[in-house]
Every structure is written in C-alpha cells, then in structure tokens.
Amino acid sequence: MLLAIFSALYLGASAQITITVAAFPKAGDTLKIAVDNNPAAALDPATPPGGNQTWDLSGLKAAQTNELIYRPISAGTHAAGYPGADMVVIGNNGEIYYNATGSKWENMGFAGTQAQFFNLAVAAKYRSALVERHAPLTFFDVFQQETNLALPFSAKNLPDSLFAAAPIKPDSVRLRFNLKRTELADAWGTCKIPGGNYPVIRVRRTDLTTPGMDVKVGFFWLDVTQLLQAAGGQIGDLLATDTTVTYRFYNNTVKEEIAVATMSNDLTTVTNVSFKNNKIVSTEENISPKIANIQAYPNPAIENVRFDCTNLPNGPYTLKIYNIIGRVVWRQNYTMSGNQSIPLNLDKFNKGTYLYSLIDGKGHAVGTKRLVILKP
C-alpha cells in the first residue's frame, strides 16, 4: 500500500514541468501570436489552484495575428539609452528593449510615438527593469516586484487648451507610473489551444498601476495628482489606479506564452485571450503580417482627432462613434483601400469617453476602441 502511495506521488510530481531559461525569447527569434477579442463565455482559464488540470481553449478564434521579431540590439535606433539591453522589438509606433539574464527576462523600457501620450515622441526607462518571466519556474513559486516609470513633457509641446482652466501654465509636465506586480504559479496541467496540446504551468499575474502627475513651475516640481483626482473629469479619471489580472500558461520548450487570458475587473469573465499561433507558416512574406486596423491619434484628444486606417481591403466602410450608453453620435461612409487617414474636428463633441468602430461592407468590425475627449 505504501509503495502504491509513493508511486502515485512520484508520478504526479514528475508530470509537473519546470520552465527554464531555454524558454526565454532571444535575438533572432520570431514569436507567432493570435488574439481572440471575443472568447466564448464558457471559457474558464481561472480555475481554482491545483495540479493535473486540463484547460480546453481549443475553441479560440484568431481574430488578429501578429509576429514579434526579437532583433539584435544593434537594430535599435535608441539602443544607447538602454545600456544592458540585448534585444529589441521594433513596431509601428516605436521600440521596446529587453534583457535576458540567468534567471530573468526583463522589459527595460520603450521609445517612440505613443498615442496615449498625446502622440508625442517619448523615451521611457523603468527605474528597475520590469521582469516579464522568471526561471526556473515551478509550481507554487511566488514573485513580487515594484518599479516606476516617469515621462516628462515640455508644456510647449502640449495643447494650450489643456491648461485653459489652470491659474498658470507650467513649464513642464511629468507623468509618473508606479507598478506593483505579484505573480503566483498556482496550477499545472495541460493547456489545449488550436493546433496543439501543451504541458504547462499557470501563473496568475496581478498588476496594480498607480499613475501620478507633476507640473514644473520655475525650479519646482509640484505633485498635482490629488488635485486633479478631486476635480474629476477626464484627466482625473485617467489618474485612477488600475488593476489588471491575467492568467498566463507557460511551456518549457515553447517560447511563446501558450495562452494569456485577461480578466474583467470583477474577474468573472475573460475579455480577451492571446495564444500561440500554430497556423502561420514562417515565410518572408509573413514577417510583417498585414492586418486591417484603425487607431485614433491623439488619444486623449482635445480639438481634433485623426483615425489612421491601415491594410484595408478595397471596399465600402462606415466609421461610427458611440457615446457611453452605446448610441451612435456620429457616422460617415467611405470607400477606402490600403492605408488612409480620416481627420475629425471635435468642436461639436462634449468631453467624455466614446467608442469608435470601423465597419466594413459585410458588417464586420475592423476594430472597436475607446476614444477619450478632453475639453477645457
């Protein structure tokens, strides 16, 4: 009887994998990712902690696909600002720098044009590199980290209307972000996704992001976070603490995360899932996949906004803007193909949060995203 018990314990323990540094991305790797932005309601990646589980995510749909190409650090135009980085991912809006050590794979920061920061060029570096992966990773490991990011802007590069209600226009503005990350490897088992089944360790990650804002007048930086939060409005809302919970599934031989499920604020539903794409054939033509997309710049917007549409098949499209209760408050029809931009003056819009959606001729949404409009 004792022999049977010990045998069962041994077999159970041996089924647990260990994630090593061999699963870290490195320069020269291309990771293939798919995204399901509307996963089935029955999907349940957030099962109770424990071992020998099966997560059936095989019904996921690849609404979007992407390839992350990790290039040598010499390919980065801003590499000098990130000493210690050994690889870079270059996207349409900038560069993200990474570093791999004997036990950690770290995000060091980014440089480029960021829509959420008034479409200005920024260069940001984490005070301590943000750890994205750990090794060795085994069942029930716990990791915690706290880091900060600061983004200074000259006030002359920001819209004057942003400071219309202020008693004095500052010389500079500094956005601060404090990030507290907690990770628990709380389960192990088998994860099924389209095209494959993988032994995995599941990690529950909780990111607590607290933003702040300083203004510089003369020689002094003043923290105005609480004043803006108390005043409310869109800027005050943007300075609210944000909590993001994701369940991440790792395999010890595959460099892609097998699946990453992002949860709703109340943790009851899955809002989206990215997963390893087993359908892409690695060819020269697939290095930069052409996915139809729409993006608003700047966002938040004040006086004007520009909707950049990319990789559109030729045909009719309708751009719609909805208010917070889902009512269409603006719409316009277009015939477009390839890459085109749609400018829009916001004088007739009230401040607030809106949704914008580009609909193709078959009634399918190319993209539906949030637009924030600020007014003095």
241-282 residue pLDDT tens: 789 999 999 999 999 999 999 998 788 889 999 999 997 443
What's the pLDDT band for 161 if we cut at 50, 70, 90?
low
What's the pLDDT band for 158 if we cut at 50, 70, 90?
low
Q: What is the dihedral of CA 369, 371, 372, 373, to 10 degrees?
A: -170
Mark whether 43 and 118 lie in a shared domain: yes
What's the pLDDT band for 6 if we cut at 50, 70, 90?
very low
Q: What is the pLDDT of residue 117?
A: 55
**How many domains is the chain partitioned into structurally?**
2
Listed residues 232, 252, 276: the one ending a domain: 276
Distance CA 22, CA 206 (A): 25
Percentage of residues in the chain having pLDDT higher than 70: 82
Got the DSSP string for 245-279?
EEEEEE-SS-SS-SEEEEEPTTSSSEEEEEEE-SS
Over residues 77-106, the mean pLDDT reads 91
pLDDT of 206 > 90? The answer is: yes
Q: What is the pLDDT of residue 31?
A: 95
pLDDT of 142 > 80? The answer is: yes
Percentage of residues in the chain having pLDDT higher than 90: 45
CATH code of the domain containing 320: 2.60.40.1930
Distance CA 352, CA 81 (A): 37
Q: Which residues contact 148 (CB under 8 A, 6 or more apart)?
A: 126, 127, 176, 177, 178, 179
What is the reported pTM? 0.69
Listed residues 218, 249, 276: the one ending a domain: 276
Domain holding 338, by residue range, is 291-373
The residue ranking higher by pLDDT, 37 or 206, is 206
pLDDT of 11 > 60? The answer is: no
4, part of any domain? no
Q: What is the pLDDT of residue 239?
A: 67
167, part of any domain? yes
Got the DSSP string for 310-351?
EEEEEEEEEEEEE-TTS-EEEEEEEEEEEEEEEEEE-TTSPS
pLDDT of 235 > 90? The answer is: no
Mark whether 258 and 316 lie in a shared domain: no
Mark whether 246 and 347 lie in a shared domain: no
Q: What is the pLDDT of residue 253?
A: 94
pLDDT of 303 > 50? The answer is: yes
Q: What is the pLDDT of residue 113?
A: 63
Q: What is the pLDDT of residue 160?
A: 60
Computed over every residue of the chain, the mean pLDDT equals: 84
Q: What is the pLDDT of residue 168?
A: 65
Mark whether 267 and 304 lie in a shared domain: no
pLDDT of 134 > 50? The answer is: yes
**What is the distance, to the nearest Å, from the Cα of residue 39 to the centroid of all Cα atoms in its chain?**
17
The residue ranking higher by pLDDT, 22 or 168, is 22
- Token output for 133: 């992966």
107, part of any domain? yes
Mark whether 102 and 196 lie in a shared domain: yes
The residue ranking higher by pLDDT, 235 or 211, is 211
The residue ranking higher by pLDDT, 222 or 261, is 261
pLDDT of 100 > 60? The answer is: yes
Mark whether 79 and 190 lie in a shared domain: yes
Distance CA 259, CA 348 (A): 43
Mark whether 166 and 90 lie in a shared domain: yes
Least confident of 121-135, 144-158, 230-244, 347-361: 230-244
Mark whether 272 and 321 lie in a shared domain: no
pLDDT of 347 > 80? The answer is: yes
What's the pLDDT band for 94 if we cut at 50, 70, 90?
confident
Q: What is the pLDDT of residue 352?
A: 83
286, part of any domain? no
Distance CA 92, CA 31 (A): 17
The residue ranking higher by pLDDT, 289 or 95, is 95
Mark whether 177 and 71 lie in a shared domain: yes
Got the DSSP string for 62-73?
-SEEEEEEEEEG
What element of type H or E holds 230? Answer: helix 225-231
Distance CA 139, CA 295 (A): 40
Mark whether 178 and 147 lie in a shared domain: yes
Distance CA 112, CA 121 (A): 5
Q: Given its phi and psi angles, is residue 42 left (phi above 0), alpha (psi -120 to 50 degrees) or beta? A: alpha
Mark whether 211 and 355 lie in a shared domain: no
Mark whether 197 and 72 lie in a shared domain: yes
9, part of any domain? no
7, part of any domain? no
Distance CA 362, CA 376 (A): 39
Burial (CB count within 10 angstroms: exposed 0-12, middle 13-18, buried 19+), residue 327: exposed
368, part of any domain? yes
Distance CA 239, CA 374 (A): 14
Got the DSSP string for 94-147?
EEEEEEE-SSEEEEEEEEEEEGGGTTEEEEEEEEEEEEEEESSB-TT-EEEEEE
The residue ranking higher by pLDDT, 92 or 22, is 22
Got the DSSP string for 25-83?
--TT-EEEEEEESS--TT----PPSEEEEEEE-TT---SEEEEEEEEEGGG-TTGGGST
Over residues 4-23, the mean pLDDT reads 64
1, part of any domain? no
Listed residues 276, 309, 325: the one ending a domain: 276
Over residues 137-165, the mean pLDDT reads 80
